[in-house]
Amino acid sequence: MQARVRGQSRARLSRVDRKALTRERLIESGHAVFIRRGFHAATLEEIAMEAGVTKGAVYSNFEGKADLFIAVVEARTEQRMQGYRRAYREAKDIEALARQHARIMVKDDPNGRWSSVLTSAWAETADDPDLRKKLLDIQVRATSFIGQTIKETADRTGVEFPYPIERLNRMGGALMRGLLLQRLLDPKHLTDQEIEDAFVAFVRGMGRPARGGNTDGEQ
Amino acid sequence: MQARVRGQSRARLSRVDRKALTRERLIESGHAVFIRRGFHAATLEEIAMEAGVTKGAVYSNFEGKADLFIAVVEARTEQRMQGYRRAYREAKDIEALARQHARIMVKDDPNGRWSSVLTSAWAETADDPDLRKKLLDIQVRATSFIGQTIKETADRTGVEFPYPIERLNRMGGALMRGLLLQRLLDPKHLTDQEIEDAFVAFVRGMGRPARGGNTDGEQ
DNA sequence: TGTACATCAGTGAACGCGCGTTCACTGATGTAC
DNA sequence: TGTACATCAGTGAACGCGCGTTCACTGATGTAC
């Protein structure tokens, strides 16, 4: 590709590069609009406008709204994974690790809107097994990645986990989601501190064997 | 009101009684359809049909879809409160009480669909402060009722709570909701037992003072 | 007990609107020679 | 380097459909006398 006269405000790009750029922008604006409006109220119109294109461009890059959404979830998940990787350096015991983990999750979804978007999409999967499979795959990958990262950190710092880490991890994510969702209805009631505390309490409680309850017969 | 000739299949009722009956049926079928289809996909058409009336009857009894939904939430909440009242007899320590509480919550929403409906409605409250206020009121009343019931039971059985019970209670409800919502995406992964365990772990963990973390400066 | 009129819960059809999806078209990039 | 044609990402307008809401109407219940 030859050097162009000068850097124009709108650079000349190859067709594939421009398409990739448009796709990237749609994913970004999609992310923003889904969070701002919610899964249903987010319109392709607004997403496209915010990316500087028209609705048709969405269909040139994705199969439709659901497909764009999946790309958004994938991108967001990817990004978060990178954040987690950097976050577990200083944790010296299991509770500190848990607290750090909780803190990141809260920071990544401070008002519960992303959790709302995600679970709204989950509701949609009742009639759309393809969507379900894709969203579940992403969650499984993320859970396994986070589990591995935590395990590495735990090993390095000599922390021991009393419970299968992946399971703890998935439960923790689910539970945190519930706490964040509460903020949709009532943004002020649960503080960051309280949410962290609840999560840490859960991890701490899982570390002690259950007593009482009907834990005898069943596996 | 005079005695009629005989009990017909469709009894003759006074106007107010028939209207109350219709309203009751709409609330019941609304509850069923919201759970079956989800908050958005539930249509007034289906709700009305299932109640044996037409859509217009909804508008004769409610202001619209949101108003019907509020009535459904109120009825459901009322019903659950009565269930809780009966459920805490045999609990002899705090963990047994927690486990019993968790068990009821799981039984009341075994596949997470109600949690999904409710949180979808919460998302709607972003542009509808009136809806928010009403839903929040219901939650506050329910939380306070449950808190009181638990407190009575705890007093009677000599159990002590290490944490303000209403707060524990609201956190617990939120957290449980997250666990149940996981089943929308993946119905099989989290067993009833695991969800109970997670809830109990949380309560148990809240009972011990936090150590580590940044609990120093902040209140 | 009977008659005439008023009320109003529920009917059924039409309305309106938002929004995802489709499609013929355009103009810039890519390719062949 | 230049010309002629092919490709195709993105345009913009139209489509279609579902669904909440509205509204004129009906027929059973209620009321007055």
Task: Judge: B170–A178 Cβ closer than 8 Å, yes or no.
Answer: no
Question: Using one digit for the tens of pLDDT, what is the confidence trace for B7-47?
Answer: 333 457 888 999 999 999 999 999 999 999 999 999 999 99
Question: Using one digit for the tens of pLDDT, what is the confidence trace for A61-81?
Answer: 999 999 999 999 999 999 999
Q: Measuring from the CA of residue B18 to each C1' atom, give the nucleotide at the shortest distance.
A: C9
**Distance CA A22 to C1' C26 in A:** 18
Instruction: Give the span between the Cα atoms of B202 and B149, in whole angstroms.
Output: 20
* Cα dihedral value B216, A158, A143, B110, nearest 10: -70
Residue that the structure tokens 């799981």 belong to = B106
Q: What is the DSSP string of B18-48?
A: HHHHHHHHHHHHHHHHHHHH-TTT--HHHHH
Q: How confident is the model at residue B208 (pLDDT cuts 50, 70, 90)?
A: low
**Distance CA A135 to C1' D6 in A:** 39
pTM score: 0.91
CA distances to B142, B166, B171, B208 from B162, in Å? 21, 12, 14, 8
A&B contacts, CB < 8 Å: 172
Asked whether residue B119 carries a pLDDT value surpassing 70, the answer given is: yes
Position B54 scores a pLDDT of 98
* Angle between helical axes of B94-108 and B165-185 (0-180°, round to 10): 40
**How many angstroms from the chain centroid is the CA of residue A95?**
22
Alpha-carbon distance B99 to nearest alpha carbon in chain A (angstroms): 7
Position B129 scores a pLDDT of 96
Residue B8 CB coordination number (10 Å): 8
Residue that the structure tokens 């501190």 belong to = A193
Instruction: Give the span between the Cα atoms of B26 and A139, in whole angstroms.
Output: 38
Q: How confident is the model at residue B89 (pLDDT cuts 50, 70, 90)?
A: confident
Task: Mutate one of B115, B163, B179 to test the A interface: name it (highest A CB count within 10 A).
Answer: B179
CA distances to A123, B7, B21 from B13, in Å? 40, 11, 9
> Is any Cβ of chain B less than 8 angstroms from the Cβ of A218?
yes
| Candidate ranges A9-18, A76-85, A109-118; pick with highest mean pLDDT | A109-118
Contacts of A36 in chain B (CB under 8 A): none
The answer to whether B99 and B170 have CB atoms below 8 angstroms apart is no
Contacts of B119 in chain A (CB under 8 A): 116, 119, 181, 184
Position A123 scores a pLDDT of 97
Most distant CA atoms of chain A, gap in Å: 78
Alpha-carbon distance B148 to nearest alpha carbon in chain A (angstroms): 19
Q: Three-class SS string for chain A? A: CCCCCCCCCCCCCCHHHHHHHHHHHHHHHHHHHHHHHCCCCCCHHHHHHHHCCCHHHHHHHCCCHHHHHHHHHHHHHHHHHHHHHHHCCCCCCHHHHHHHHHHHHHHHCCCCHHHHHHHHHHHHHHHCHHHHHHHHHHHHHHHHHHHHHHHHHHHHHCCCCCCCHHHHHHHHHHHHHHHHHHHHHCCCCCCHHHHHHHHHHHHHHHCCCCCCCCCCCCC
Asked whether residue A217 carries a pLDDT value surpassing 70, the answer given is: no
Position A208 scores a pLDDT of 64
Task: Judge: B211–A95 Cβ closer than 8 Å, yes or no.
Answer: yes
**Least confident residue range of A13-17, A201-205, B46-50, B103-107:** A13-17
Q: Measuring from the CA of residue A59 to each C1' atom, give the nucleotide at the shortest distance.
A: C21
Q: How confident is the model at residue B163 (pLDDT cuts 50, 70, 90)?
A: confident
CA distances to A126, A146, B8, B11, B12 from B5, in Å? 50, 73, 8, 11, 10
A93: nearest CB among B122, B170, B212: B212
Question: Using one digit for the tens of pLDDT, what is the confidence trace for B53-71?
Answer: 999 999 999 999 999 999 9
Near-strand C residues (CB closer than 7 A): A 12-16, 18, 41-45, 55-56, 58-59, 64-66; B 15, 18-19, 21-23, 48, 53-57, 59-61
A185: nearest CB among B135, B193, B210: B135
Position B133 scores a pLDDT of 98
The answer to whether A48 and A58 have CB atoms below 8 angstroms apart is yes
Residue B82 CB coordination number (10 Å): 9
Start-to-end C-alpha separation, chain A: 65
CA distances to A29, A133, B205, B212 from A204, in Å? 39, 32, 5, 12
The answer to whether A179 and A190 have CB atoms below 8 angstroms apart is yes
Q: Which two tokens stand for residue B154?
A: 């705890």
Find the residue in A nearest to B182 (Cα). A174
- Show which of residues 22-81 on chain A sit within 8 Å of chain B, judged by CB atoms: 38-40
Q: String of b and e for B152-186 (b: at least 16 CB within 10 Å)?
A: ebbeebebebeeebbbbbbbbbbbbbbbbbbbbbb
**Which has more confidence, A56 or A157?**
A56
Alpha-carbon distance A169 to nearest alpha carbon in chain B (angstroms): 11
**Distance CA B2 to C1' C1 in A:** 14
Task: Judge: A185–B218 Cβ closer than 8 Å, yes or no.
Answer: no
The answer to whether B93 and A212 have CB atoms below 8 angstroms apart is yes
Task: Judge: B200–A205 Cβ closer than 8 Å, yes or no.
Answer: yes
Which of helix, strand or coil describes residue B184?
helix
What is residue B174's DSSP assignment? H
Alpha-carbon distance B4 to nearest alpha carbon in chain A (angstroms): 48
Q: Which two tokens stand for residue B69?
A: 């939904």
- Please classify residue B210 by burial: count the beta carbons closer than 10 Å to its beta carbon, then call 0-12 exposed, 13-18 middle and 19+ buried: middle
**Least confident residue range of A145-154, B8-17, B127-136, B137-146:** B8-17
Question: Using one digit for the tens of pLDDT, what is the confidence trace for A128-171?
Answer: 999 999 999 999 999 999 999 988 888 888 888 878 999 999 99
Position A209 scores a pLDDT of 53
